[in-house]
Amino acid sequence: MTQISFYVLKGKSEFERQMFACRLAEKAYKLGNLIYIHTKDVHQSEQINKDLWAFRAESFVPHQLDTETHVDHCPILIGHEGNPQRLMDLLINLNDSRPLFIDQFKRMAELINDDNNIKITGRKRYQFYRQHAYNLEIFYI
């Protein structure tokens, strides 16, 4: 069963939440994982795509949108329509809703901050995962 980690971040900024997603993706990539970043819409997918190129000058994190060609060779995919085209290790969820395809991942990261809507929808997802006996852990960042 998928291990689900909730990362509770300080602040309300969506930018900071996305930067944390970039750092988490970089760390997982360096550990040899395949990562899918699930966004809420095409705009956020494009923003994460840009952020991964620029979030740290000394870093190189190969990634692409899941709508591009040759996705089977890229370790990090970004998408908002869900259900990546191949099996991957880590799902980073930036979407407000629960991904319906989480069981194909070993791990999933939920990123929660002090934005009221993010907290409310995050609590609902946490309750669902707990009711369905997922292994949950919480990190306060």
Q: Which domains does the chain have, with CATH numbers?
A: 13-81 (3.40.50.10110), 110-141 (no CATH)
- pTM beyond 0.85: the answer is yes
Do 24 and 33 contact (CB within 8 A), yes or no?
Answer: no
Does residue 6 register a pLDDT over 90?
yes
Does residue 33 register a pLDDT over 90?
yes
pLDDT tens per residue, range 87-100:
899 999 999 999 99
Do 122 and 6 contact (CB within 8 A), yes or no?
Answer: yes
pLDDT of 69 reads 64
pLDDT of 85 reads 74
Helix axes 14-30, 42-54, angle to 10 degrees: 60
